[in-house]
Amino acid sequence: MLRIAQGRVYDPANGIDGEVRDVCLDGGTVVDDLPSDAPRIDARGMVVMPGGVDIHAHIAGPAVNAARKLSPEEHRGDVLDRTAVTRSGTGGTVPSTFATGYRYALLGYTTVVDAATPPLAARHTLAELRDTPIVDAAFLVLMGNNLPLFELIRQGGPVSETVAWWLEATSGYGVKLVNPGGVEMWKHGNRNVTSLDDEVEGLGVTPRRVLEAIATAVDELGLPHPVHVHCNNLGVPGNLRTTLDTLEALQGRRAHLAHLQFHAYGGTPGKRPRSRAPELVEHLDAHPEHSADVGQVMFGPATTMTADAPVSAMLREVTGGKWLNADLEAETGCGIVPLAYRERNYVHALQWGIGLELLLLSRDPWRVVLSTDHPNGGSFLSYPRLIRLLMDREFRNEQIGRVNQKAIRRTVLGDDLDREYTLGEIAIITRAGPARLLGLAAKGHLGVGADADVTVYSEHEDREEMFARPRFVIKGGRVIVEDGELREAPAGDLLRVAADQDEAIERTLRPLFEEHYSVQLANYPVREPWLLERARRIPVGGER
| Residue ranges binding Zn ion (CB under 5 A) | 115, 373
In the chain, the amino acid numbered 106 is L
Q: Which is nearer to Zn ion, 373 or 425 (CB)?
A: 373
CB of 134 to Zn ion, least distance (A): 22
Q: Cα separation of 139 and 129, whole Å?
A: 9
Q: Phi and psi at residue 463, in whole multiples of 5°? A: -70, -25
Closest to 491 in 3D by CA, of 434, 536, 538 = 536
CB of 492 to Zn ion, least distance (A): 20
CB of 208 to Zn ion, least distance (A): 22
Q: Which is nearer to Zn ion, 170 or 399 (CB)?
A: 170
Q: 240-249 and 207-221 are packed helices; what angle lies between their axes, rounded to 10 degrees? A: 40
CB of 99 to Zn ion, least distance (A): 20
Q: Cα separation of 299 and 293, whole Å?
A: 18
Q: Which is nearer to Zn ion, 115 or 135 (CB)?
A: 115
Closest to 17 in 3D by CA, of 370, 389, 428 = 428
For 327, residues 6+ apart whose C-beta sits below 8 A from its C-beta are: 187, 309, 333, 334
Q: Cα separation of 107 and 380, whole Å?
A: 9
For 383, residues 6+ apart whose C-beta sits below 8 A from its C-beta are: 107, 370, 372, 430, 467
Which residues partner with 117 through β-bridges?
A: 141
Q: Which is nearer to Zn ion, 381 or 400 (CB)?
A: 381
Q: Which is nearer to Zn ion, 259 or 445 (CB)?
A: 259
CB of 390 to Zn ion, least distance (A): 21
CB of 224 to Zn ion, least distance (A): 19
Q: Which is nearer to Zn ion, 293 or 464 (CB)?
A: 293
Q: Which is nearer to Zn ion, 160 or 312 (CB)?
A: 312
CB of 176 to Zn ion, least distance (A): 9
CB of 270 to Zn ion, least distance (A): 25
If phi > 0 it is left, if psi is from -120 to 50 it is alpha, else beta; for residue 53 that is beta
CB of 258 to Zn ion, least distance (A): 6
Which residues partner with 80 through β-bridges?
A: 89
Quick one: three-class SS letters along 187-219?
Answer: HCCCCCCCCCCCCCCCCCCCHHHHHHHHHHHHH
Decide: helix, strand or coil at residue 151: helix
In the chain, the amino acid numbered 283 is H
Q: Which is nearer to Zn ion, 168 or 373 (CB)?
A: 373
166 neighbors 172 (Cβ within 8 angstroms): yes
For 88, residues 6+ apart whose C-beta sits below 8 A from its C-beta are: 79, 80, 81, 82, 98
Q: Which is nearer to Zn ion, 115 or 390 (CB)?
A: 115
Q: Cα separation of 498 and 513, whole Å?
A: 24
